[in-house]
Structure 1
Amino acid sequence: MTSLFDSLRLRDLTVANRVWVSPMCMYACEGEPGVVGAWHVAHYGQFALGGAGLIVTEATAVLPEGRVTPEDAGLWGDDHVAPWKTVTDAVHLAGSAIAVQLAHAGRKGGKFRGLPGDEFANSSVPADLGGWTTVGATGEAFGRYDAPAKATADDLAATVAAFGAAARRADEAGFDAIELHGAHGYLLHELLSPVTNTRDDDWASRERLLLETVAAVRANWPQGKPLIVRLSVDDVAPGGLTAEDSASLATRLGELGVDLIDCSSGGLVAGAEYAATPGYQVPGAATVRRLSGLPTSAVGLITSPEHAASIVAEGSADAVMLGREMLRNPYWARHAASALGVSLPGVSRYHRAHA
């Protein structure tokens, strides 16, 4: 029976345990577009000190127009590499592995960040305030956002190339793994789902953009480093993809060099409703794992050590992703280990706390 604190090997990377930090948008690049800074070093470093096995970064755009907000992180330019290297060095020094989530927001990009105290939320940033025209599978808008331009064949080909170039930069920046954001209604997901991809050209082949992106990334990413794909394994939309559909897709992704599926759900269309309860996305992860044979991670209101441990022990997923709970308690992994009677290697400079 696998333990939450057993290591997990993905290609040449051995992740120390199965407690992972889920990607969470931070909207914290407030200087040069896409350039991370000291705040990111502190933010990601705290999780490493707290004992998380793998930390997945916020959505990091492969093109300027692929940002969710103007304050998003990026890897579309070589000037982004050195700042990210500062972050990865800090995480490695504190004992954890780190993956970058590469993303293109598609029609859901270019919005106001909506942090507490901000004047606007859930609407598009106008051009005179730093916004841009987004691109989508079609010209249909998401909710209250501005309508995108329908992506041309050249736009989509350029996006594939941008993901490949960002993968090369991710290696230079010292990342241990890449996660491709193919979930939550962003561009890769938008083309993937029958609900949103109603095109009538060659890109009506719904899996094409994701599969070509995986191939481009794998070609620019060392063979010894793992590649993860985040999927909304259930679209939570009438006529959308189901966990069984996602399992079939995962099989093809595995053949192209994907090593793990990070299982989430929803985000495709505005107004979709579902009950978010502790572990509500675990069944999808279990289905993908069982039918595809690929390792999975599960996310979704997982907060207690006992619950997290049971997910891994029962074989529903190979790792658990924690988001908001990690923000509340960056040392969750160490506290969970203590609660479960497991001894984690301590931080030597903190030896007084562990004596």
Structure 2
Amino acid sequence: MASTNTSGGTPIRVGILGASGYTGAELVRMLLRHPNVTIAALTAERQAGKPIAEVFPHLAGYGLPDLVKIDALDWNALDFIFCALPHGTTQEVIAGLPSHLKVVDLSADFRLTDPAEYAVWYGHEHRATDLQKEVVYGLTEFNRAAVATARVVANPGCYPTSSLLPLLPLLSKGLIESDRIVIDAKSGVSGAGRDAKQANLFCEVSEGFAAYGVGHHRHMPEIEQELRGVAGRPVTVSFTPHLVPMNRGMMATIYVRMTDGVTVDDLRAALAARYADEPFVGVTPAGVNPATRHVRASNHALIGVTADRAPGCAILVSVIDNLVKGASGQAIQNMNVMMGFGETTGIDQAPLFP
């Protein structure tokens, strides 16, 4: 077991399901420095029986448990679960967990509140509809109170996180029009997961830049669901993701039309006011646009606001690390809130540069 408890209390016993993927490895990396956590179990169905160092050599030397199959776990020996399993495999697993376990799910299986909408976008019926009613959507900065009392939290997708952080405050205050939102988003290749896929081979990705999921991507309904909640009416966004030949990082360039009388300075001021007390979200000064390198390997998000040449329009630039604020870092942020720890505990490291 690996523990870094320095708080004087008993650390909680954490299990990571799906520890052999990129988000699982990021969870381990960040939890190793969390003073209130013991990493007590790691699962990986195809890698079961191996030391984690054989799968991720950078995690050698920390006394971590070996990888095992999920059905080999003793749930009574755990207090908290991070579920980093592939999409479509999680619902029945979480529904079958003992009720004493709190869970953050990093897959998409519980993000959509409407099971019928889930079936449309994911191609099969939801397999845990009763549990879905209890799940809280874990965009921490906006659902903090609900996350604090939840047993199961659906961690947001990386694209939705980078898109919603700039859009929700502006839409909720009526500063932008709800029917003129265009999201042009880009992700590093780690966002596609660690499984061997021809499209993700070096020669397929390097020296290129490609759109995918054009016109129909599973993050569309997730983004629209949350925007609909603050707008009070249906919202349809134009969203196109792109794969960029870099390991990690995400940028959403968002085009919006301001409502009558609103200026770009108003948008920037509203975002700055909304995030003034948030530890992980910042707004850049006028004339400064953020870059992915400004948040690399951190749980931070940065938002820039610029006037468009088109009258009454503005351009929002939002950056996160897709594996941290877009996945594992936000998951730990949610765990901290659920367990009553300081929200920044274990995830307050500065960005890595260069």
TM-score of the superposed pair, with normalisation by structure 2: 0.28
When the two structures are superposed, what TM-score results if normalisation uses the length of structure 1? 0.28
Q: Which has the higher strand share?
A: 2
